[in-house]
Amino acid sequence: MSVIAPFPSTWDRRPIASFDRKELMRILDLYGRMVAAGHWRDYALRIDPDVAMFAAYRRHSERPEVLIEKRPALRLKQGAFALVGEHGAVLKRGHELAGVLAPLERRLMRLVG
């Protein structure tokens, strides 16, 4: 017996959530500076139909230190971007990526004398 799988049509597809070029460049720029400062060592990128995630790891461990999420379904409510901590708590949420990444940017600031 054979199984016939239907051919997917264009109207069946949902748009896939992803970071656009500017957002990904901003995230990778922050990642590079955090690596240079010795805070992070590895990252992972996950793209699903409803969420895009960037995870940054301190060590090669099971849990990411920081998770940056983009959920387009929440863009009209509380903002598409979220910064999630190591234990799953939402640290910051907003409509603009720059505002969500601000707590991480503060880690890199140093007083120069």
Nearest to 20 by CA among 59, 72, 93: 72
In the numeric block, the tokens 């597809």 are attached to 13
Q: Is the dihedral of CA 104, 20, 46, 95 positive or negative?
A: positive
pLDDT, residue 51, reads 92
pLDDT digits (tens, 9 = 90+) for 17-76: 889 999 999 999 999 999 998 888 999 999 988 999 999 998 876 788 999 999 988 888
**pTM assigned to the model:** 0.80
What pLDDT sits at residue 8?
Answer: 67
Dihedral, 25, 94, 70, 65 alpha carbons, nearest 10: 80
